[in-house]
Chain A
Amino acid sequence: MSSHSILSVKNLTVEFQTSEGLLRAVNNVSFDIPQGKTIGIVGESGSGKSVTSLAVMGLLQKPAARIPNGEIYFNGQDLLKFDEQQMRSLRGNDISMIFQEPMTSLNPVFKVGEQISEALRVHKNLSKKEAWDKAVYLMNQVGIPKPELSAHKYPHEMSGGQKQRVMIAMAISCEPKLLIADEPTTALDVTIQKQVLELLQKLQAEYKMSMMFITHDLGVIGDIADDVVVMYRSNVVEKNHAETIFQSAQHPYTKGLLACRPKLGANPKRLLTVSDFMTDSGEEKIVPVERVQVFDKEIELKESSPVLLEIDQLVTQFPIKGGLFGRTVDHFKAVDGVSFKLKKGQTLGLVGESGCGKTTLGRSILRLVEPSSGKIIYDGKDITHVHHEELRQLRKKMQIIFQDPYSSLNPRMTIADILMEPLNIHKVGANKNERFDMARELIEKVGLKSNHMGRYPHEFSGGQRQRICIARALMLKPEFVICDESVSALDVSIQAQVLNLLLDLQQEFGLTYIFISHDLGVVNFIADEVGVMYAGKIIEMDKASRIYKNAKQDYTRSLLSAIPKGITKNSMAPLI
């Protein structure tokens, strides 16, 4: 393989000097990228995959990072022996890179046209005019509408997807031999993700580039990679052709990764997770047969239960200020006449792209945002206009779990304080000890340990924090919980664990959920009924088991087709 390899990484080790001592981020990693092929590097956050790519680019922050051993051959030359000058002439020219965050990766004060021209002027010695024309051409190549006009735009005037296209145009401007894409679609909506992936594939063929595609989601890579390298805790645990990986993965971690993404249609009752395949120390486990049994949702629908929540023609609008004195000149309807009924013990999934109004809808139902008109009837009582004490009492019954596990916990409070706060507010429990015991009971239910109670949020991982948020929402024993993109910020492997937890808790406490997400795959797995939102309205609503088979709206179908199938380029065989 290595004879026609464009990039060949051999025994690479990267260490970081931190305040806690030496940290080995990459341990003896070796892989090759054959000429013209795409290699996918998969692993959860912190597994060392991004550090590897930065090492190839020569962009590691020195002197904190050091490379005690290893070689990186690019076109037969060891990049680690290059000086800064040589690396610079390579970067953006022969090797280029796209980053995860298109929002912050572009310079906010320069026009995108200038930013694309820059590399051309440095590496190809083009004049300002020539470089600009080339930039416009490239923007057309990456599918940005009206490239002549768009080149004059500033980054903030473009959508996330367009910005990522600009980043891609910038990366391919000098026709690199190797393109490194570091989670290029993670920050994007699924539909945009699909477009960007297709674009990258098209460009790769056109420019005959090799590509190194880094992601935490094996499903994404299936459509695009020839070879896959799986990284786990700084090590490469498995590498092989993509088909082989998808069809007969060897390492238990890879198996876990493959199994944890919910598929459309049939899934096991609880999603399989990495820990089903592997012990903490990395040894393989036998997965119990009942865990893999695929389950058909239709059987268990709770048709007979009473209606818990009814939404009738709900509208939530925000004023648009304008004029000299900032008067309200118009209204923006974030939620525009939404109606639905939700039965006790069921889960309603709301799916749509960012900006479709799904989050505002959730907050309006909880009266965290004031709805403008329409009715919210909860348990037979109109709560659209209740206030003060009544609303406070309602908070005991209705709860919410937010998206961002990093900002939704007060960083200055211990877990015990966070969990006991709802009890304090509503004077539940006779005294502090009793409240503490209640909190401890719940923290164990969500899969954490009781000795975590005295710790602070920053000492926990994203998945653990989300468990804490779930525990806080359940402290008051609510009947109804809104999960607002509650798993979107998590790695797929963690996502599966949290989804399982939500299902377990639903069964134990008889909860009713509204589950909001941009990922139809996830919604389809957890929800009994799915509502598709677009521009403030629910445009289609159906049983989860039916919507993926016979979607009526084009928009729903486009959402469905955007879900990564977890199928490789060459084979169409579905997983498991």
Chain B
Amino acid sequence: MTKYIIRRLLYMIPVLLGVSLIIFILFKLVSGDPTAVLLGKNATAKQMADLREQLGLNKSLWLQYLDVVKSAFTFDFGYSWSTKQEISKMILQGAYPSLCLSVPAFVISTVLSLLISLVVAYYRGKGIDLFIRVFCIAGMSISALAYILFFQWFFAFKLGWFEISGFEAEFPFVISYIALPAIIWIVLSIGPDVRFFRTVILDEIYQDYVRTARAKGLPEVTILLRHVLRNALIPIITYVVIQIPSLILGALLLENFFSIPGLGGMTLNALNSSDFPVMKAMAILSSVGYIIFGLLSDILYTLADPRIKFN
């Protein structure tokens, strides 16, 4: 087991190098020579040279690439072009509002989806199963943008149940800002989640060991909650854990619409103001997140499934 974890940890290195390479190439190509943009038309050659030096653009490409790799470990991403702030500080500030929205929404939607899919699996083939499946597919077929626009207009603007936009960090007040985007998040995730969970659970329900459990005289509910769910959890855990890094970035559109000063909104602002260092930092940060949680989900997978053994 330890050996497996070490091997998986070591495998992170080539992946991290590859990810850094992609990000390096992309942003090198996107930003080109930024000095002219940053200093405006009237910059002197001296100023431009100084700035190049300061941004590390005079270094060899190889060293510049190494800087990207290094930042994946140190989280030292340099300064924003538009706000001139240190990017790591901006990220720290943005993390709180983002997590306020994403964590509760993610937890509720996952638990809810699992409950719904268990009910659906229990009544498989019956009316309620069909109804929820149709509901999921229809729900998934509506654009996220349409949900956001309509919910914001209807519940916040028309009915005035929620704040239209903005954010307040303190506890009871935060709810009125977070609730609506969180609801939209949940509505958006339930469709694909239930569909996946249902498929996984039904895959297990037709296995031979379920017939054995029935032959033992166990009640159908026990069979579902004990035998089937325990096996279905193996792919479900992987599916859920792998989504966690997107909590950092996932609320891109929601934060933007509801003016929540989180990381997603920050990324979109950076896009609009061509603030490439911030975008690059977010790309590196979320990639590192994906790699770490990918590792975590692999390890959990092997822990949850006793069939996988290490030598």
Bound form: Cα–Cα A170–B218 in Å: 13
Contact yes or no, A105 B208, CB < 8 A: yes
B231 neighbours in A (Cβ, 8 Å):
107-109
Contact yes or no, A324 B307, CB < 8 A: no
Chain-B contact segment, one of A89-97, A381-389, A418-426: A89-97
**Which residues of A (316-335) have their CB < 8 Å from a CB of B?**
322-326
Contact yes or no, A119 B208, CB < 8 A: no
Is B50 among interface residues, defined by CB-CB distance under 8 A? no
**Which residues of A (104-120) have their CB < 8 Å from a CB of B?**
104-110, 118-119
Contact yes or no, A90 B217, CB < 8 A: yes
A323 neighbours in B (Cβ, 8 Å):
3
Is B6 among interface residues, defined by CB-CB distance under 8 A? yes
Among A59, A105, A322, A326, which residue has its beta carbon within 8 angstroms of that of B209?
Answer: A105
Among A93, A96, A104, which residue has its beta carbon within 8 angstroms of that of B208?
Answer: A104
Is B207 among interface residues, defined by CB-CB distance under 8 A? yes
B234 neighbours in A (Cβ, 8 Å):
109
Among A92, A104, A322, A325, which residue has its beta carbon within 8 angstroms of that of B216?
Answer: A92
Interface string of B224-255 (1 = CB under 8 A from A): 00010011001000000000000000000000
**Which residues of B (247-273) have their CB < 8 Å from a CB of A?**
none
Q: A97, A108, A325, A326 — which one has the most chain B CB atoms within 10 A of its CB?
A: A108
Bound form: Cα–Cα A59–B234 in Å: 27
Is B41 among interface residues, defined by CB-CB distance under 8 A? no
Is B143 among interface residues, defined by CB-CB distance under 8 A? no
Contact yes or no, B215 A123, CB < 8 A: no
Is A73 among interface residues, defined by CB-CB distance under 8 A? no
Q: Within the complex, what minimum Cβ distance (angstroms) separates B143 from chain A?
A: 37
Q: Within the complex, what minimum Cβ distance (angstroms) separates A74 from chain B?
A: 14
Contact yes or no, B307 A156, CB < 8 A: yes
Is A287 among interface residues, defined by CB-CB distance under 8 A? no
Contact yes or no, A93 B311, CB < 8 A: no
Q: Within the complex, what minimum Cβ distance (angstroms) separates B225 from chain A?
A: 13
Among B214, B304, B307, which residue has its beta carbon within 8 angstroms of that of A91?
Answer: B214
Q: Within the complex, what minimum Cβ distance (angstroms) separates B1 from chain A?
A: 13
Is B213 among interface residues, defined by CB-CB distance under 8 A? yes
Contact yes or no, B214 A59, CB < 8 A: yes
Is A491 among interface residues, defined by CB-CB distance under 8 A? no
Is B306 among interface residues, defined by CB-CB distance under 8 A? yes
Bound form: Cα–Cα A1–B248 in Å: 74
A107 neighbours in B (Cβ, 8 Å):
209, 212-213, 227, 230-231
Q: Within the complex, what minimum Cβ distance (angstroms) separates A96 from chain B?
A: 7
Listed by A's residue number, 10 A-B pairs whose Cβ atoms lie within 8 Å are A91-B215, A92-B215, A108-B209, A108-B307, A110-B227, A122-B216, A322-B311, A323-B3, A324-B3, A325-B7
Contact yes or no, A109 B306, CB < 8 A: yes
Is B138 among interface residues, defined by CB-CB distance under 8 A? no
Contact yes or no, A59 B306, CB < 8 A: no
Among A59, A154, A325, A326, which residue has its beta carbon within 8 angstroms of that of B215?
Answer: A59
Is A57 among interface residues, defined by CB-CB distance under 8 A? yes
Contact yes or no, A104 B217, CB < 8 A: no
Contact yes or no, A104 B207, CB < 8 A: yes
Contact yes or no, A324 B211, CB < 8 A: no
Whether A105 contacts B212 in the complex (CB less than 8 A), given A89-B217, A122-B217, comes out as yes
Bound form: Cα–Cα A325–B3 in Å: 9
Is A101 among interface residues, defined by CB-CB distance under 8 A? yes
Contact yes or no, A105 B211, CB < 8 A: yes
A90 neighbours in B (Cβ, 8 Å):
217
Chain A residues packing against B (C-beta within 8 Å): 57, 59, 88-93, 96-97, 99, 101, 104-110, 118-119, 122-123, 154, 156, 167, 170, 322-326
Among B3, B218, B230, B311, which residue has its beta carbon within 8 angstroms of that of A118?
Answer: B218
Interface string of B11-55 (1 = CB under 8 A from A): 000000000000000000000000000000000000000000000
Contact yes or no, A118 B306, CB < 8 A: no
Whether A119 contacts B217 in the complex (CB less than 8 A), given A107-B231, A109-B231, A154-B306, comes out as yes
A326 neighbours in B (Cβ, 8 Å):
7
Q: Within the complex, what minimum Cβ distance (angstroms) separates A95 from chain B?
A: 9
Chain B residues packing against A (C-beta within 8 Å): 3, 6-7, 10, 207-209, 211-219, 222, 227, 230-231, 234, 304-307, 311
Bound form: Cα–Cα A110–B213 in Å: 12
A123 neighbours in B (Cβ, 8 Å):
217
Closest Cβ neighbor of A54 among chain B residues: B211
B230 neighbours in A (Cβ, 8 Å):
107, 109-110
Bound form: Cα–Cα A101–B214 in Å: 16
Closest Cβ neighbor of B213 among chain A residues: A107
5 closest cross-chain pairs (CB), A and B: A92-B217, A92-B216, A91-B217, A104-B208, A107-B209
A99 neighbours in B (Cβ, 8 Å):
208, 211-212, 215
Bound form: Cα–Cα A16–B134 in Å: 28
Contact yes or no, B216 A170, CB < 8 A: yes
B304 neighbours in A (Cβ, 8 Å):
109
Bound form: Cα–Cα A107–B230 in Å: 10
Q: Within the complex, what minimum Cβ distance (angstroms) separates B189 from chain A?
A: 27
Q: Within the complex, what minimum Cβ distance (angstroms) separates A181 from chain B?
A: 12
A110 neighbours in B (Cβ, 8 Å):
227, 230
Among A91, A104, A109, A170, which residue has its beta carbon within 8 angstroms of that of B305?
Answer: A109
A119 neighbours in B (Cβ, 8 Å):
216-218
B214 neighbours in A (Cβ, 8 Å):
59, 91
Contact yes or no, B217 A101, CB < 8 A: no
Closest Cβ neighbor of B212 among chain A residues: A105
Contact yes or no, B307 A154, CB < 8 A: yes
Q: Within the complex, what minimum Cβ distance (angstroms) separates A320 from chain B?
A: 8
Q: Within the complex, what minimum Cβ distance (angstroms) separates A106 from chain B?
A: 6
Bound form: Cα–Cα A107–B218 in Å: 14
Q: Within the complex, what minimum Cβ distance (angstroms) separates A153 from chain B?
A: 9
Bound form: Cα–Cα A167–B208 in Å: 12
B311 neighbours in A (Cβ, 8 Å):
322
Closest Cβ neighbor of A87 among chain B residues: B217
Among A88, A105, A325, which residue has its beta carbon within 8 angstroms of that of B217?
Answer: A88
Bound form: Cα–Cα A365–B208 in Å: 37
B306 neighbours in A (Cβ, 8 Å):
108-109, 154, 156
A154 neighbours in B (Cβ, 8 Å):
306-307
Q: Within the complex, what minimum Cβ distance (angstroms) separates A151 from chain B?
A: 14
Q: Within the complex, what minimum Cβ distance (angstroms) separates A140 from chain B?
A: 20
B212 neighbours in A (Cβ, 8 Å):
99, 105-107, 167, 170
Closest Cβ neighbor of A106 among chain B residues: B209
Bound form: Cα–Cα A107–B224 in Å: 12
Q: Within the complex, what minimum Cβ distance (angstroms) separates B231 from chain A?
A: 6
Bound form: Cα–Cα A93–B208 in Å: 20
Q: Within the complex, what minimum Cβ distance (angstroms) separates B226 from chain A?
A: 8
Q: Within the complex, what minimum Cβ distance (angstroms) separates B123 from chain A?
A: 14
Q: Within the complex, what minimum Cβ distance (angstroms) separates B81 from chain A?
A: 43
Q: B211, B213, B217, B219 — which one has the most chain A CB atoms within 10 A of its CB?
A: B217
Q: B6, B214, B219, B234 — which one has the most chain A CB atoms within 10 A of its CB?
A: B214
Closest Cβ neighbor of B125 among chain A residues: A63
B207 neighbours in A (Cβ, 8 Å):
104
B222 neighbours in A (Cβ, 8 Å):
122
Q: Within the complex, what minimum Cβ distance (angstroms) separates B101 from chain A?
A: 35
Bound form: Cα–Cα A109–B237 in Å: 15
Q: Within the complex, what minimum Cβ distance (angstroms) separates B17 from chain A?
A: 17
Q: Within the complex, what minimum Cβ distance (angstroms) separates B232 from chain A?
A: 10
Whether A324 contacts B10 in the complex (CB less than 8 A), given A104-B208, A105-B211, A110-B230, comes out as yes
Bound form: Cα–Cα A184–B72 in Å: 58
Closest Cβ neighbor of B227 among chain A residues: A107
Whether A324 contacts B215 in the complex (CB less than 8 A), given A107-B227, A154-B307, comes out as no
Closest Cβ neighbor of B204 among chain A residues: A107
Q: Within the complex, what minimum Cβ distance (angstroms) separates B141 from chain A?
A: 29
Closest Cβ neighbor of A123 among chain B residues: B217
